[in-house]
């Protein structure tokens, strides 16, 4: 958009650019800068316009983008242009993701590059390598307490190794996803160290207070994230004689985005990683980016403005790079991380579907899909060019963050129901086969979350231990059921390292002093590759799971109705044990797949007559895409066994 105030500023900035920047061929850069400049200027002004150095900061911002562009390789620039031309590329059903820790999946980055055939074997073509940057030993929060944003942890490798991974992935058409931990640094980061030395400029990168007055005001409305291991949101620093804001662990210092220097530094880091060949950046803990007294300090409007500004700037330098919002917050809040535009996502193109994840787990515990149905029905409609990351498990705990109104609508009492879920997954509920652990019980609020691997949470561990074949087979079916939904729901499915092999809880963290206070390590496994070979041996659990998922993934990729173009219709099927939706091809709506999943431990019927009003031809002949067979049918009802799913097409 052309607007005179901002454009005269743009002209002034272009005149002031450093000579080495001016000498470059910046044609594409200028076109995009011109297109986005009004938005960038407005957002930057909104956040920092009150400052005397605003114009200088604006110049710094443009120079940061220009430097980033100059450092972008021609290969990556080509990718940018290809993706500009095919701008819906990431909405295709062809993408299937997996999240892993480098040293959990392989020995190091080099070994990970060597192991990339495994991804192809399973069909995974988007790999989220969890944080690999420098962290202090012991105080690392699993990589999320970074002491140097540009250096790779030397136990894992170096930048050359990462480039090799990126190249290997690009050759195989696998997307590389890396984290950007925006919200905080380790207390050992250079900025924190300078702040510790008393440098005012760096103290202003964080939130620091001489006494409890302001911290106490903040605390009145801020929840606690790690109440057991890191209660409160501030930590007293003896050396500085100051209270430092530490929302997560006491060694993770929150960055202060009301300081434009922080914004520009972090943008520079984003562009640095974009230029290493990263396709997608997972922006960690984005809900927390803006702190305001009197609020929960999550989902603040300015947090959204910061993300919009980051997107606009990144589009100028590296438009092919996508953002994933990791905002594990209430359903109505998550949706806002796609942006505020009336139609098109202009914040993060992808967001974790934490709501679906929690609802799926609820379905497993209750053997019932009524809350799942209610929650999916009330999922706000996404913007165009925005997509979900659908997952069952990840490296974090499971929080039961669904909407209380939905919980009440299906006649559960929210507090008691969440207590039931925690009891169920920690195996304390009578008859529960789950082997999870309670994570971060909050004595004041009674809240708690759950840790545990997928396989252990659905009863595989208990089944293998007792040799109970029925339990083992139920666990396998539950794992497949959950994946059948994340693979067909609409969005990018994200598998978690080990889940395709049925990896159980790993209790070894208890013996490691740096991990024993954080039971999330129970589900951050080290893959035993000898055992993983069992995926090739018929009759093993590994074989059954791996090959079933491999097949599901292959079918997903062939099924254009599974692409994500707001093309899902949820069906009320008059049976609360079943979740059922239709996915249709957005260009050819008659081409469709009816997905139905039975959460119950008993067989259930899908009554075709009941849904005939939805345009389903009850006399049609159905074929299940997954098994290739017609489903068992009885009196115009389709029969589903315990924990069975179908992907049905009509022929
Ligand atoms: C994220 O977590 C990471 O995924 C965690 O591994 C980190 O510990 C945390 O940030 C701090 O960097 O912030 O927006 O257990 O679900 O903290 C959601 C709680 C987050 C996590 C939550 C999450």
Same domain (yes/no): 414, 535:
yes
Backbone φ, ψ for residue 628 (5° rounding): 80, 5
Instruction: Check pocket membership of 218 for ligand 1, CB cut-off 6 A.
Output: no
User: Tens of pLDDT along 402-419?
Assistant: 999 999 999 999 999 999
Strands 387-391, 350-352: pairing is parallel
Q: Atom 21 in ligand 1: which residue has the minimum CA distance?
A: 396
What pLDDT was estimated at residue 418? 97
Q: How many CB atoms lie within 10 A of CB 46?
A: 14
Residues 304 and 380 in one domain: yes
Last residue of one domain, picked from the residues 518, 536, 560: 560
Residue 524 sits in the same domain as residue 590:
no
- pLDDT for res 614: 80
| Residues 415 and 510 both lie in one domain | yes
Would you say the CB of residue 253 lies under 6 angstroms from ligand 1?
A: no
Half-sphere exposure of 510 (CA within 13 A, CB side): 5
pLDDT value at position 2?
85
* pLDDT confidence of residue 23: 86
State the residue range of the domain holding 606.
561-650
Query: Distance, CA 145 to ligand 1 centroid (Å)?
Result: 11
Q: What is the residue whose two structure tokens read 């894992």?
A: 156
Q: What is the pLDDT of residue 619?
A: 82
Residue 341 has pLDDT above 80, yes or no: no
> Which of 543, 560, 577 lies at the terminal end of a domain, its last residue?
560
* Residue 228: band (very low, low, confident or very high) from pLDDT cuts 50, 70, 90: very high
Kind of pairing between the strands at 437-439 and 387-391: unpaired
Question: Is the Cβ atom of 254 under 6 angstroms away from ligand 1?
Answer: no
In a domain? residue 642: yes
Write down the pLDDT at residue 613: 82
Q: For residue range 54-94, what is the model confidence (pLDDT) as tens digits?
A: 999 999 999 999 999 999 999 999 999 999 999 999 999 99
Q: Which residues contact 615 (CB under 8 A, 6 or more apart)?
A: none
SS3 388: strand
Angle, CA 63 vertex, CA 60 and CA 65 arms, to 5°: 110
Q: Does 632 reside within a domain?
A: yes
pLDDT at 345 over 70: no
Helix axes 260-274, 54-70, angle to 10 degrees: 10
Beta bridge partners of 619: none
Residue 196 lies in a domain: no
Residue 226: what are its φ and ψ, rounded to 5°? -120, 70
**Alpha-carbon distance 281 to 278, whole Å?**
7
Asked if 279 contacts 175 with a C-beta cutoff of 8 angstroms, the reply is yes
In a domain, 156, yes or no: yes
Q: Give a yes or no: residue 231 inside a domain.
A: no
Mean pLDDT, rounded, of the chain: 96
Helix axes 54-70, 301-317, angle to 10 degrees: 40
285/397 same-domain check: yes
Which of 62-66, 204-208, 340-344 is least confident? Answer: 340-344
Q: Does residue 574 share a domain with residue 555?
A: no
Question: Would you say residue 344 has pLDDT above 90?
Answer: no
Q: Looking at the 3D structure of the chain, how many domains does it have?
A: 2
Which residue from 248, 253, 327, 448 has its CB within 8 A of the most atoms of ligand 1, so it is best to mutate?
A: 248
Burial of 598 (0-12, 13-18, 19+ CB in 10 A): buried
Q: Are residues 550 and 592 in the same domain?
A: no
196, 238 Cβ separation under 8 angstroms: no
- Shared domain for 602 and 526, answered yes or no, is no
Task: Indicate whether 238 belongs to any domain.
Answer: no
Average pLDDT over residues 513-530: 97
Domain with 610 in it: what CATH number?
2.60.40.1180
CB 61 within 8 A of CB 267: yes
408 token code pair: 């009440």
Which residue has the least CA distance to atom 16 on ligand 1? 396
**159 near 152, Cβ under 8 Å?**
yes
Closest by alpha carbon to 481, among 599, 623, 649, 368? 599
Residues whose CB is less than 8 angstroms from the CB of residue 602 and which lie 6 or more positions away in sequence, other chains included:
577, 642
Nearest to 528 by CA among 495, 499, 503: 503
- 208 domain residue, yes or no: no
> Which string of DSSP letters, residue by residue, matches 347-368?
S-SEEE-HHHHHHHHHHHHHT-
Q: Known catalytic residues? A: 284, 326
- Average pLDDT on 534-552 reads 98
Nearest-atom index, ligand 1, CA of 440: 15
The CA–CA distances, whole Å, from 67 to 62, 155, 166, 278 equal 9, 30, 22, 17
Q: Which of 145, 226, 228, 284 best tests ligand 1's pocket when mutated (most atoms within 8 Å of CB)?
A: 284
Does residue 510 form part of some domain?
A: yes
Whether the CB of 303 sits within 6 Å of ligand 1: no
pLDDT of residue 616: 79
SS3 of residue 436 by DSSP: coil
- Do 538 and 578 have their domain in common? no
Q: Residue 358 has what pLDDT? A: 98
CATH number at residue 314: 3.20.20.80
| Interval 44-59 mean pLDDT | 98
Distance (Å, rounded) from C-alpha 343 to C-alpha 493? 23
Domain closes at, from 535, 560, 585: 560
Q: Are residues 605 and 541 in the same domain?
A: no
The residue nearest atom 5 of ligand 1, judged by CA position, is: 396
* Whether the CB of 248 sits within 6 Å of ligand 1: yes
Distance from residue 592's CA to the centre of ligand 1 (Å): 37
Q: Per-residue pLDDT for 342 more than 80?
A: no
Section 603-618 average pLDDT: 89
Structure tokens at 397: 């705990």
Secondary structure element (H or E) that encloses residue 4, with its range: helix 4-16
Position with higher pLDDT, 284 vs 634 = 284
Q: How far apart are the first and last CA of the chain?
A: 50
Same domain, 496 and 610: no
**Residues 308 and 392 grouped into a single domain:** yes
**Could you tell me if 455 and 84 are in contact, meaning their C-beta atoms sit under 8 angstroms apart?**
no
């Amino acid at each position: 958009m052309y607007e005179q105030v901002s454009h005269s500023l743009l002209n002034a900035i272009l005149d002031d650019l450093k000579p080495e920047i001016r000498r470059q061929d910046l044609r594409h850069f200028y076109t995009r800068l011109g297109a986005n400049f009004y938005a960038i200027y407005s957002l930057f002004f909104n956040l920092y316009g009150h400052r005397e150095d605003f114009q200088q900061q604006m110049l710094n911002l443009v120079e940061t983008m220009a430097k980033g562009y100059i450092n972008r390789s021609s290969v990556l620039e080509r990718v940018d242009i290809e993706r500009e031309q095919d701008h819906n590329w990431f909405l295709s059903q062809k993408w299937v993701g997996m999240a892993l820790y480098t040293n959990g999946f392989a020995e190091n980055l080099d070994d990970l590059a060597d192991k990339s055939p495994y991804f192809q074997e399973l069909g995974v073509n988007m790999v989220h390598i969890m944080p690999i940057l420098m962290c202090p030993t012991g105080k690392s929060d699993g990589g999320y307490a970074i002491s140097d944003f540009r250096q790779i942890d030397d136990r894992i490798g170096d930048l050359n190794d990462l480039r090799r991974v990126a190249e290997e992935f690009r050759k195989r058409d696998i997307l590389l996803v890396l984290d950007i931990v925006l919200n905080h640094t380790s207390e050992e980061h250079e900025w924190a160290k300078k702040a510790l030395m008393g440098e005012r400029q760096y103290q202003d990168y964080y939130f620091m207070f001489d006494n409890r007055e302001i911290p106490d005001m903040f605390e009145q409305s801020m929840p606690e994230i790690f109440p057991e291991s890191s209660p409160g949101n501030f930590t007293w620093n003896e050396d500085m004689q100051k209270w430092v804001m530490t929302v997560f662990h006491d060694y993770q210092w929150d960055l202060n985005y009301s300081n434009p220097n922080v914004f520009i530094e972090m943008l520079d880091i984003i562009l640095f990683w974009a230029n290493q060949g990263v396709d997608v950046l997972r922006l960690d803990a984005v809900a927390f980016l803006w702190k305001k007294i009197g609020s929960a300090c999550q989902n603040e409007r300015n947090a959204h403005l910061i993300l919009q500004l980051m997107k606009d700037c990144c589009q100028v330098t590296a438009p092919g790079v996508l953002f994933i919002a990791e905002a594990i917050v209430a359903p109505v809040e998550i949706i806002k991380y796609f942006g505020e535009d009336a139609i098109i996502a202009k914040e993060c193109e992808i967001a974790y579907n934490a709501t679906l994840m929690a609802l799926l787990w609820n379905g497993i515990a209750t053997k019932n899909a009524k809350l799942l149905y209610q929650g999916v029905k009330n999922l706000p409609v996404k913007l165009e060019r925005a997509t979900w990351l659908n997952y069952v498990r990840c490296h974090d705990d499971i929080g039961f963050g669904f909407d209380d109104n939905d919980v009440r609508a299906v006649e559960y009492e929210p507090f008691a129901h969440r207590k039931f879920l925690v009891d169920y997954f920690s195996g304390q509920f009578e008859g529960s086969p789950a082997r999870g652990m309670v994570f971060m019980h909050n004595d004041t609020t009674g809240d708690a979350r759950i840790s545990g691997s997928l396989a252990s949470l659905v009863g595989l561990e208990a089944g293998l231990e007792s040799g109970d074949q029925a339990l083992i087979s139920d666990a396998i079916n539950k794992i497949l059921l959950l994946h059948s939904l994340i693979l067909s729901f609409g969005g990018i499915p994200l598998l978690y390292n080990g889940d395709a092999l049925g990896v159980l809880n790993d209790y070894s963290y208890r013996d490691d002093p740096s991990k024993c206070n954080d039971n999330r390590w129970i589900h951050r496994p080290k893959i035993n590759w000898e055992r993983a070979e069992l995926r090739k041996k018929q009759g093993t659990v590994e074989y059954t799971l791996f090959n079933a998922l491999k097949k599901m993934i292959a079918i997903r990729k062939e099924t254009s109705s599974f692409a994500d173009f707001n093309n899902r219709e949820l069906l009320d099927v008059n049976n609360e044990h079943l979740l059922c939706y239709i996915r249709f091809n957005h260009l050819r709506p008659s081409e469709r797949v009816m997905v139905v999943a039975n959460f119950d431990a008993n067989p259930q019927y899908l009554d075709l007559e009941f849904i005939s009003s939805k345009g389903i031809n009850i006399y049609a002949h159905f074929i299940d895409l997954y098994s290739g067979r017609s489903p068992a049918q009885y009196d115009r009802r389709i029969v589903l066994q315990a924990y069975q799913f179908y992907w049905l097409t009509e022929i």
